[in-house]
Amino acid sequence: MSFRLSALGDEAAGPIAAQCAALRDLGLWHIEVRACDRQVLIDSDPALTEAAAEAIRQAGLTVSAYASPLGKVRIDSDLAEHRRRFGRALDVARRLGTGAIRVFTFYMPPGSWAEHRSTVLREFAFFAAEAERSGMRLLVENERGIYADVPERCLDLVEGVGSPAVRLLFDPANFIQCGATPFPDGWNLLGKHVAYVHIKDALRAGGEVRPAGEGDGRLPELLRALAASGYDGFLSLEPHLKGEDRMARAVGALRRVLAAEGLVETDGPRP
């Protein structure tokens, strides 16, 4: 079993050309695009997205996903405006040449998950219908403080919407920070719905993010389970570490885990 590796470029550099160069220096040939020059693409001139797409093409990379900030607003905010931003995200993804958009499921007021469930599902049904018409796939990332924070609500979201355009982005560190167990519990519950994986680990005591295999996420076992399932998505590095070498440390740690487990990286270093 081989895995395709990608990474969030803006954790390696600011300008998009520098992001691409940094990833290529590490032997990566795919990039997850979140921001360029610290600008959010859906809120910027489309010319910035076009320039980013051209720089990525010139570097010989492909875009694994557009890491949008959609859904990172309170559920009781202006959702009509959020729907308009979703339309812009579809355009950004198209210009970048990817069919995948990372999304979130709205911040919840404290203790009110059940109260807002119907609104979350309604908004995601709208997003799903638009994504299906556009040939896009939405990757719902689990994260602390939003509706789909723990495995049970991730499952409720994806099965409640019931669209082939809505799949899960599995983030082990984020589950740990929510008090959940990514493996085996999270994987066993969600595995059939997972289409993308963020690679970062974390310590259960305090939630500090760590490179793959250096936390409590049981990344080696998760990677073996992914391989056994026939997973064909990306492993995308999101270091969230400190220091200028954070991306190199994250890539190195993941490659050590893969090697130790007898797993292979595809689209690796090229001549």
Interacting residues of 89 by C-beta distance below 8 A, sequence separation 6+: 42, 66, 68, 70, 101, 103
Look at residue 271 and tell me if it is in a domain.
no
State residue 251's pLDDT score: 97
Measure the CA–CA gap between 248 and 169, rounded to whole angstroms: 23
| Domain hosting residue 82, numbered range | 2-266
Look at residue 77 and tell me if it is in a domain.
yes
State residue 1's pLDDT score: 67
Are 217 and 201 in contact by the 8 Å Cβ rule? The answer is yes
CATH classification of the domain holding 209: 3.20.20.150
State residue 269's pLDDT score: 45
Per-residue tokens: 33: 């695009």
Look at residue 96 and tell me if it is in a domain.
yes
Name the pTM for this structure: 0.96
- Residues 78-97: b if buried by 16+ CB within 10 A, e if exposed: ebeebeebbebbbebbbbbe
In the chain, the number of structural domains is 1
Separation in Å, CA 123 to CA 61, 118, 175, 190, 271:
33, 9, 23, 21, 46
What is the residue-level pLDDT of the chain in tens, covering all 271 positions? 689 999 999 999 999 999 999 999 999 999 999 999 889 999 999 999 999 999 999 999 999 999 999 999 999 999 999 999 999 999 999 999 999 999 999 999 887 789 999 999 999 999 999 999 999 999 999 999 999 999 999 999 999 999 999 999 999 999 999 999 999 999 999 999 999 999 999 999 999 999 999 999 999 999 999 999 999 999 999 999 998 899 999 999 999 999 999 999 987 544 3
How many CB atoms are closer than 10 A to CB 129? Answer: 13
